[in-house]
């Protein structure tokens, strides 16, 4: 009597090539799972940072004097300053967007009253007069001493540009505070004061929120984990099918 054929992969030993394939597949599955875990951890860290930023923004206001604050520890805290603008040193950062419109960020250094120090004030956004970057809009600057209320913020991020801005350029792509201070021979603080409402006429004081990038990290984590699950499923399917076919072939001999 012929023994019945049982197409079970458990009865078929793995060949060296199959062991190597299985090892490679398991390595990729574990690697993608660990990458997902790493991205998830980064997202959680940035989520905690975002919570700290929100807490700082609701905290008591700092008053800027001659002593500089810690740009990392005190970033995004409310900040107040009193002094006089240097209207002739106003710069316009071009190609900044607001509600789908192109315009400028207006930055003017403020000489802090009773000190030798200056702070750069991001006064707001203003629409381009004509073509983006071609004409400086007429933005009046207060001549008398002013009180500016806003928040302590990092300097504007540096955009990629094929050509460097002239040190004394009025319309520019970027502004480096250290270079600006050296050009005008002033003691400029290493952070900026982002002015908040009430805003000056013709300008908008709505700034982009600090982007920690946690959503991207969480998205990458789910992508890596999806790849890990997919890899595991494909490995089980194709390896099981191969072993079942070989079991049937060897059992029919």
Task: In whole angstroms, give the CA distance from residue 235 to residue 225.
Answer: 15
The fraction of the chain above a pLDDT of 70, given in percent, is 89
What's the chain's Rg over C-alpha atoms?
30
Q: Domain coordinates of the chain in residue numbers?
A: 15-49+214-251, 77-195
| 15-65: pLDDT as tens digits | 788 788 888 889 999 999 999 999 999 888 888 877 877 888 888 889 999
Task: Indicate yes or no: pTM above 0.75.
Answer: no
Using pLDDT thresholds of 50, 70 and 90, give the confidence band for residue 129: low
pLDDT band at 139; cut points 50, 70, 90: confident
Structure tokens at 125: 């956004």
Please, are residues 169 and 184 in contact by the beta-carbon 8 Å criterion? Answer: no
Count helices and strands (H / E) in the chain.
3, 8
Question: The tokens 């049937």 sit on which residue?
Answer: 248
DSSP 8-class letter at 223:
H
- The total number of residues written for the chain in this structure: 253
Vertex 89, ends 87 and 91: CA angle to 5°?
105
Q: Give just the sign of the alpha carbon dihedral 206, 157, 86, 72.
A: positive
């Amino acid at each position: 009597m012929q023994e019945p054929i049982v197409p079970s992969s458990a009865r078929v030993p793995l060949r060296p090539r199959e062991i190597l394939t299985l090892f490679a597949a398991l390595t990729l599955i574990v690697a993608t799972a660990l990458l997902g875990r790493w991205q998830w951890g980064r997202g959680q860290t940035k989520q905690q940072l975002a919570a700290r930023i929100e807490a700082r923004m609701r905290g008591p206001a700092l008053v800027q004097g001659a002593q500089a604050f810690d740009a990392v520890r005190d970033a995004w805290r409310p900040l107040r300053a009193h002094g006089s603008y240097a209207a002739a040193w106003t710069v316009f950062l071009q190609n900044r967007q607001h509600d789908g419109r192109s315009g400028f960020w207006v930055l003017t250094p403020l000489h802090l009253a009773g000190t030798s120090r200056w702070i750069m004030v991001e006064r707001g956004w203003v629409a381009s007069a004509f073509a983006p970057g071609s004409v400086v809009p007429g933005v009046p600057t207060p001549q008398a001493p002013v009180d500016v209320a806003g928040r302590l913020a990092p300097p504007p991020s540096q955009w990629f540009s094929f050509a460097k801005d002239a040190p004394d350029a009025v319309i520019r792509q970027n502004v480096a505070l250290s270079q600006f201070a050296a050009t005008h021979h002033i003691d400029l603080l290493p952070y900026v004061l982002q002015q908040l409402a009430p805003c000056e006429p013709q300008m908008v004081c709505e700034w982009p929120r600090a982007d920690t990038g946690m959503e991207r990290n969480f998205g990458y984590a789910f992508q890596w984990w999806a790849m890990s699950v997919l890899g595991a499923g494909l490995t089980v399917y194709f390896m099981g099918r191969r072993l079942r076919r070989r079991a049937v072939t060897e059992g029919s001999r």
